[in-house]
Structure 1
């Protein structure tokens, strides 16, 4: 058959009002009711936005569009209560602040950004809105642009608890409508250009440029930033600058520190009665603030970073007196932590009675999922699923810190003993040696390297049996989530892990991390970390994983006992109710609630030294 010239059939741009996009082997149809430009400009949103229809071929997408119910997709306002609109959207109910402006209810990040409340019915939401209307507002500052370049920790699952605040409080988010992101200003380019004329001249030039740029930024027009806000932030900036210089801090270090607070973020934050900061004290002190931290190192970020503190002396750092002054200031109301070790290290580090009194400790809590792994009896040859998960932000380098190489080495041994083993690794992979690529190619290893919805993550956990976390240090959310799903956890002895994972009780602990990759230096008050040890497999850790997994494979009762005990611990100890008691203690302290209502002081001797740390558990908070 002879075929000649044919006219090219163009791919249509739209169909019945839907925008059509053909990309990565699929055809997507964006409905006219959705934020089309936002969906197209945000990486990954086209694939996971609930409103977008998707199919392999154009014909299938057109059939989906033909069956689309426009009325079911629209948002219906049911009633107005206080400052909220209660709406029904896709069969779900939300209370949307009327000050929120345009918000995409299909995007969890958008709902969180403007403080949308979810509920099962309009009546339930009405009661919730009425209850929180009389509560004390606390501004959640995790939306600030500076956090987006700080591991995006403001959006980390660790802080999901702000969606369920303690009684008497509510978290607000005054973030302006999302704009096209702009890179945060940095001094690296300037420093590079000045290197030819010497380091001293570069520092002087950088400091002068920062002063000029800061003055310009205070008057540069910016949406949502009022004159009153500019004045308040400017006053706080000058007050902090003068205070730090008066206390003898080095001028160059002071200017560099103030620059890392990101002036534009401070202007956007504006004036709030009380601000909740996540991990890093990004503030000039223009607001009263409470901070939640996991370890002391993040108080110095980005000037000092985790994983590189094994040989440092924070007390000798030019930034030490700056951070100390910031924490001692009246504007810092409480330092909340879910790690007992951190609650002891912070006072030891700063040797300040003022700071010591601000530290509050409470074990973190997570939701208890309805679906979980019950470890019901099964045939011995039925597949047993191991699960390894990289960090929430899926940075490939964190594959090492989580113990990914040790897991692969151990699995290469285990799969020869137990052909029924399967390994799922939810991770972005760094560049690996051929040795590890051969292990992956050898079979029974599944790599999941994409965004997973909450439902998909839940399915991943419930379908697994054993959770592997031989990490350099604790990763609290990952650990508690695995425990909440009833998985048999094999963790390391890295710093902080054994505060939650008790060997032979609710999991198995593999030795080999503490003292090498991480450890608490109680004299210096520092968390010492050296992540370089994780860039090659540790024979002791590998052997520990092999031994622990072998026991769990051969003993179904052990697997079941540890998994059930882990879930029971989350239910009884590591739950949101217990955590909220500690959070409420910190917020009460910030709001000036009488001290006797916050803590009951009790002195307890420890082996190394006396410690006075507010501990919040059960029905009261006490100092230990």
Structure 2
């Protein structure tokens, strides 16, 4: 059984699926927008800008996937999207968001054209970028597998209205035409990969059959994300880290509200992540908060090794990977019940779970961790033990292939022509 993958951007789960398929000699094609690994060696040698440019290209180089199996599609659309996001994203975020969705649709059409000429047994496609591809693959008797990396659009919009007070035209809301595409993908998919019970229950609520939902929690790179010894020091403040989009959805307003209420505590808040909704910073940042930008020179892993605790007060999240990464770095984590990765945390044992949108609860959790260093150590150690014993990307990729095999056999027994 040969498998092809379509993803318009780098996504850890789908890369691990590709790597697992390669290990079984099953990967036929890997379709994406910009895969630039072959350019890295050359630009590395350029004076002055070479190393920096090579690092940027590295974000488009997927380790372990041979260049011969990679096909770049919708390249111009992706370049326009990147330019729009970087040049105009902060001033016109709605335009940047629209371009992102349009790239996915254009990429999907390009994959569909390829599949008409080169059918495959199984296509693994991404949320919002697979509608036309799924139609074609099923016309050829293949199996459609949807990597459902977000919440259901209707549920995501509901949370943004109820917990963030956004209106229907805000750029963080999922547009109606995108929601319709995702509904179509769910209807066509033979198998839907979800990372959490949080998302699985949403899909069941919206009529997706339980027999085509595979709930498989994400993995984490245990080599990149690991603890380092934190000897006693003379520093006067506990370092609290947030990593993620600067947006309403991620609970930034709640986080800033909590930071203001923690101004008497010896704690410093550092925020890292791309700016999505600059209005969440309206009124300025509290004195104990620093926004470090979209990234740091040492990367997220290094920032986590320097931090004392990690907070993600998200209003909704299918399965925020940064939580697993923080756990792997032995950081005590505070996150919400609306975060799928929070399902891995046993409250009070290997992290703290709070209600979404509740600044008071966040203040109480932060205060507790700031004032109890031994609790921070215990939660962090337990978190590391949990993820290293059960959550690797290798295990995730293998479990997806097993789920595809099982679903294929199930469909065959019912007389459905699939791979």
Which range, TM-score by smaller chain? 0.5 to 0.7
Give the structure 1 partner of residue 346 of structure 2. 502
- The answer on whether the counterparts of 2:146 and 2:186 sit within 8 Å (CA) in structure 1 is no
Task: Say if 1:542 and 1:593 are closer, same or farther in 2 by CA, change over 3 A.
Answer: closer
Supply the distance in 2 between the matched residues of 1:180 and 1:560 (Cα, whole angstroms): 47
Equivalent in 384, 387, 404 of residue 567 of structure 1: 384
Give the structure 2 partner of residue 297 of structure 1. 152
Task: Say if 1:334 and 1:458 are closer, same or farther in 2 by CA, change over 3 A.
Answer: same
Give the structure 2 partner of residue 307 of structure 1. 157
Supply the distance in 2 between the matched residues of 1:324 and 1:450 (Cα, whole angstroms): 32
Q: Classify the secondary structure of the residue corresponding to 1:357.
A: helix
Supply the distance in 1 between the matched residues of 2:72 and 2:395 (Cα, whole angstroms): 34
Give 1:292 deviation, angstroms: 1.7
Give 1:555 deviation, angstroms: 1.5
Give the structure 2 partner of residue 426 of structure 1. 272
Give the structure 1 partner of residue 192 of structure 2. 335
Task: Say if 1:492 and 1:269 are closer, same or farther in 2 by CA, change over 3 A.
Answer: same
Supply the distance in 1 between the matched residues of 2:126 and 2:187 (Cα, whole angstroms): 18
Supply the distance in 2 between the matched residues of 1:347 and 1:371 (Cα, whole angstroms): 34
Supply the distance in 2 between the matched residues of 1:451 and 1:423 (Cα, whole angstroms): 15
Is 1:286 the counterpart of 2:103? The answer is no
Q: Classify the secondary structure of the residue corresponding to 2:157.
A: coil
Supply the distance in 1 between the matched residues of 2:330 and 2:18 (Cα, whole angstroms): 24
Unaligned runs of 5+ in 2: 32-69, 81-104, 163-167, 169-175, 414-419
Give 1:488 deviation, angstroms: 1.0
Q: Classify the secondary structure of the residue corresponding to 2:248.
A: helix
Supply the distance in 2 between the matched residues of 1:431 and 1:262 (Cα, whole angstroms): 30
Give the structure 1 partner of residue 239 of structure 2. 385
Is 1:437 the counterpart of 2:279? The answer is no
- The answer on whether the counterparts of 2:242 and 2:311 sit within 8 Å (CA) in structure 1 is yes
Q: Classify the secondary structure of the residue corresponding to 2:119.
A: coil
Give the structure 1 partner of residue 109 of structure 2. 263
Equivalent in 304, 312, 315 of residue 472 of structure 1: 315
Task: Say if 1:448 and 1:336 are closer, same or farther in 2 by CA, change over 3 A.
Answer: same
Supply the distance in 1 between the matched residues of 2:178 and 2:363 (Cα, whole angstroms): 44
Give the structure 2 partner of residue 544 of structure 1. 361
Give the structure 2 partner of residue 365 of structure 1. 219
Supply the distance in 2 between the matched residues of 1:580 and 1:142 (Cα, whole angstroms): 16
Task: Say if 1:370 and 1:438 are closer, same or farther in 2 by CA, change over 3 A.
Answer: closer
User: Going by fraction, where is helix more abundant, 1 or 2?
Assistant: 2
Give 1:176 deviation, angstroms: 4.0
User: Going by fraction, where is strand more abundant, 1 or 2?
Assistant: 1
TM-score, structure 1 as length reference: 0.45
Unaligned runs of 5+ in 1: 1-135, 144-153, 186-258, 299-303, 392-397, 514-537, 597-624
Q: How many residues align?
A: 325
TM-score, structure 2 as length reference: 0.65
Supply the distance in 2 between the matched residues of 1:286 and 1:368 (Cα, whole angstroms): 38
More relative contact order, 1 or 2 (CA 8 Å, 6+ apart):
2
Is 1:276 the counterpart of 2:124? The answer is yes
Give the structure 1 partner of residue 38 of structure 2. none
Supply the distance in 2 between the matched residues of 1:413 and 1:321 (Cα, whole angstroms): 42
- The answer on whether the counterparts of 2:224 and 2:301 sit within 8 Å (CA) in structure 1 is no
- The answer on whether the counterparts of 1:261 and 1:284 sit within 8 Å (CA) in structure 2 is no
Give 1:480 deviation, angstroms: 1.0
- The answer on whether the counterparts of 1:505 and 1:565 sit within 8 Å (CA) in structure 2 is yes
- The answer on whether the counterparts of 1:366 and 1:575 sit within 8 Å (CA) in structure 2 is yes
Give the structure 1 partner of residue 87 of structure 2. none
Q: Classify the secondary structure of the residue corresponding to 1:401.
A: coil
**What value does the CA root-mean-square deviation take over the aligned residues?**
3.8
Task: Say if 1:557 and 1:374 are closer, same or farther in 2 by CA, change over 3 A.
Answer: farther
Give the structure 1 partner of residue 24 of structure 2. 168
Give 1:469 deviation, angstroms: 0.4
Give the structure 1 partner of residue 375 of structure 2. 558
Supply the distance in 1 between the matched residues of 2:74 and 2:396 (Cα, whole angstroms): 34
Give the structure 1 partner of residue 59 of structure 2. none
Give 1:321 deviation, angstroms: 10
- The answer on whether the counterparts of 1:373 and 1:465 sit within 8 Å (CA) in structure 2 is no
Task: Say if 1:493 and 1:139 are closer, same or farther in 2 by CA, change over 3 A.
Answer: same
Task: Say if 1:308 and 1:268 are closer, same or farther in 2 by CA, change over 3 A.
Answer: farther
Equivalent in 237, 240, 250 of residue 402 of structure 1: 250
Q: Classify the secondary structure of the residue corresponding to 1:267.
A: helix
- The answer on whether the counterparts of 1:335 and 1:586 sit within 8 Å (CA) in structure 2 is no
- The answer on whether the counterparts of 1:386 and 1:422 sit within 8 Å (CA) in structure 2 is yes
Supply the distance in 1 between the matched residues of 2:377 and 2:184 (Cα, whole angstroms): 50
Task: Say if 1:319 and 1:369 are closer, same or farther in 2 by CA, change over 3 A.
Answer: closer
Give 1:510 deviation, angstroms: 2.0
Supply the distance in 1 between the matched residues of 2:182 and 2:74 (Cα, whole angstroms): 32
Give 1:350 deviation, angstroms: 2.1
Larger Rg: 1
Supply the distance in 2 between the matched residues of 1:179 and 1:286 (Cα, whole angstroms): 18
Structural mapping, 1:472-491, within 5 Å: 472-474=315-317, 475-491=319-335
Give 1:183 deviation, angstroms: 7.8
Supply the distance in 2 between the matched residues of 1:318 and 1:445 (Cα, whole angstroms): 38
Structural mapping, 1:75-86, within 5 Å: none
Give the structure 2 partner of residue 141 of structure 1. 6
Give the structure 1 partner of residue 89 of structure 2. none
Supply the distance in 2 between the matched residues of 1:177 and 1:262 (Cα, whole angstroms): 12
